[in-house]
Every structure is written in structure tokens, then in C-alpha cells.
Structure 1
Amino acid sequence: MTVHALFFCLRPDPDTARRLGAVSEALVRRLGLRAKAARAERLHVTLHHLGWYDDQTDQAEVMAEVRQLAADAAASLRHAPLRLDFDQLLSFTRKRRNLPLVLSGGACLDPVRTLRQALGERLKASGLRTDPHFTPHLTLFYDDFVVEPQPFIVPGWTATDLVLMDSLQGQSRHVELARWPLA
């Protein structure tokens, strides 16, 4: 049985993803960690998580309905391309082990917050639930080592598309389901 995690995100272009992957690898070396740096093709900034679904019959039907509602919401969204840059490095410490080391930021990520809010309004209007808690971030890797919040400036990219992804749990694989241009 496969468990699917559906989510909306912003993904870097391939060149930016490789550059961010190199930042991740350099941090692993600099911090002396055993963690594996994130694979460039998995790097993203999540906007809204839409839930977990397994591929049993009833769950598959629910997942298909959520996908359709989410696609309709995304198709109705009008938003200009936006710039993402990062100015902070930190570990999320909500759990004890396997902590995400992330790039995050303050005002430099306000455009992401604005897009997330606009998409959230569309999702709610479609009958989907959204999580009010949000810290825009890009996960570089997971490790038990805690990195306290610190300034760390990393140029990002200009996001030109909103992407609906399916993360296949336990397979370390993301499948792009749909993409809408930001224009």
C-alpha cells in the first residue's frame, strides 16, 4: 500500500535546484554531518498540505476528489510570478530526532506568504481545509544535529509556476501532478 501526501509548492528551476543542492552539500561538510543532502529534484517550498491518502478504494476516491477541488482552486488563482530569497538557516525542533535543516526568511519571503494566503482562500472556498500555521522554508536535509537560527543569505529564484505534488511516502519520490503558471 502506498501513502500519498498531496501538497502545493513552488519548485526551483533545474539550475537553481542544483545550486541549492550544492549549498546543502557544503553545509553537510561544514557542519561535519552524516546526513545526505537533499536531492535537487525534491527541493521545494510547500504552500499548502492537502492531506495523506492511501491507495485503498475509498481513500483513492477521496484523493481524486481532493485533487480535482485543488486543481479548480489553483486554476482560478491569478498571481504574478514572485521572487523567493532566503536569509536564515535553522533546524525545526518540533521533534527530537531527524530534524529538518531549512532555509527560511523574514520579509524576503513575504511574497510567498501573500501567494499562500491567496491560494488558501481559494482552497477554503472549494471546501478544502487549510492549516493556519505556516513558516515558509526550503528543507535542505534531515539530521539529529540542531542548528540554532542564524543569518544565512542564499539567493533563491523567481517562481513562475504553482505546482501540485504527490509525495510517495517511504519512497523518497515526488510526482508532479499539475502545474499552473503565475501570470
Structure 2
Amino acid sequence: MTVHALFFCLRPDPVTAAQLTAVSDALVQRFGLREKPPRTERLHVTLHHLGWFDDADPVALADVRQRAESAAASLRDAPARVDFEEMLSFTRKPRNRPFVLSGGACLDEVRRLRAALGDELAAVGLPVDPHFTPHLTLLYDDLAVPSQPLPMPAPGWTARHLHLMDSLQGQSTHVALARWSLD
């Protein structure tokens, strides 16, 4: 049985994604992190997680997807600049910790866009988590890297599209379900 995790996100263009993968490779070397195959096609900044759904209840998955698409179609917001200035490991779990790029004020446009999308999601009756740490996960590792400024520039991008994705749990696969232009 497949478990689906639906989420809205911002995705880098292919050139920026490749550049982010190169930054990830350099950070792996610098900090002695576990080398893994590149996950260039899965790089994203999650805005809203919509829940987990399994194949046993396709009606729930279809309902949430339909309401999420309605919310996204109602969104009227500008493109958002996505930049990073720090790196850290999330340490909520003892192993396989996310190693991420993040930042402060440089991600304010992402926060603004998330808030606007959250208003639209609430309007169609979907729950909105008030907690948000904008970040882009590069890899997972048992080693915890403390929060610190990036030792090298990391490429950013202007997000011109909002994406609805389906993460197939345990399969390391993200399926693009829909995309909306930000204008």
C-alpha cells in the first residue's frame, strides 16, 4: 500500500537545482557527511504539508487534492525570492537528520507567500500549521551540523510557480500533481 504525502512547495529551476547540488557536494566534503546520490529533482521549499493518505482511502486523498487545487487557483500573489544564508541540521530525531539551507530576512518573501496560501487553504476548510521554518533539505545524515552561516554562496531563485506535489513515502519519489503561476 502506498502512502501519499501531499504538499505545496517552491521548486528551483533545473540550473539552480544543479548549482544547489554542487553546494551540497561541497558541504558533504567539508563536514564529513554521508555521500548519497544527488536528489536534484526533489529539491524544494515546502510551504504547506496537507497530510498523509493511503491507497485504502482514495476519497480522502481526492477531496484534499480538490480543495488544495481550489485554494491554489484562488491565490493572487507575486513571485517570491528564495535565498539562503545559513545551514543547519534539524535535530528532532536522533538519526537521519535533515541537513538544510535556511535563513532569516532573506526568506521573508517565502513567508509572505506561505501566509497568503494559508489564508486560501483555511478558506476551503483545510488545516494550516502555524509553525514554519523555511528551508531546503539537501540531504539526511546522522551527524548534526549546528546552525551557522554558509561558508560559500548558495544560489537562490525567483519562484514564479507554486507546485502541488505527492511524495510517495518510502520510494524517494515526488510526483508533480499541479502547478500555478505566481503573478
TM class by smaller structure: over 0.9
Which one-letter code corresponds to 2:61 in the other structure?
Answer: M
CA distance 1:156–1:37, shift in 2 (3 Å)? farther
**Is the partner of 2:85 in helix, strand or coil?**
strand
Query: Are 1:25 and 1:37, in contact at CA under 8 Å, matched by a contact in 2?
Result: no
**In the aligned structure 2, how far is the partner of 1:37 from the partner of 1:21?**
10
User: TM-score scaled to structure 1, two decimals?
Assistant: 0.96
Query: Are 2:19 and 2:155, in contact at CA under 8 Å, matched by a contact in 1?
Result: no
Which one-letter code corresponds to 1:32 in the other structure?
Answer: G
What's the C-alpha RMSD, in Å, of the aligned pairs? 0.9
Paired residues, what number? 181
**In the aligned structure 2, how far is the partner of 1:99 from the partner of 1:35?**
14
Which has the larger displacement, 18-27 or 68-77?
A: 18-27
Matched residue, 2:9: 9
- Give me the identity figure in percent: 70
Matched residue, 2:175: 175
Which has the larger displacement, 144-153 or 32-41?
A: 32-41
Which one-letter code corresponds to 1:99 in the other structure?
Answer: R
Structure 2 unmatched ranges of 5 or more:
none
User: TM-score scaled to structure 2, two decimals?
Assistant: 0.96
CA displacement 1:64-117 (0-9 Å, x = unmatched): 000000000000001111111000100001111111000000000000000000
Matched residue, 2:97: 99
**In the aligned structure 2, how far is the partner of 1:135 from the partner of 1:34?**
24
Matched residue, 2:25: 25
**In the aligned structure 1, how far is the partner of 2:37 from the partner of 2:133?**
21
Which one-letter code corresponds to 2:8 in the other structure?
Answer: F
Which one-letter code corresponds to 1:163 in the other structure?
Answer: H
Matched residue, 1:74: 72
Q: Once superposed, which parts of structure 1, at least 4 consecutive aligned residues long, lie more than 6 Å away?
A: none
**In the aligned structure 2, how far is the partner of 1:156 from the partner of 1:43?**
12
Bigger strand share: 1
2:156 aligned with 1:161? no
CA displacement 1:27-75 (0-9 Å, x = unmatched): 112212224154100000000000000011xx21001000000000000
Which one-letter code corresponds to 1:36 in the other structure?
Answer: K
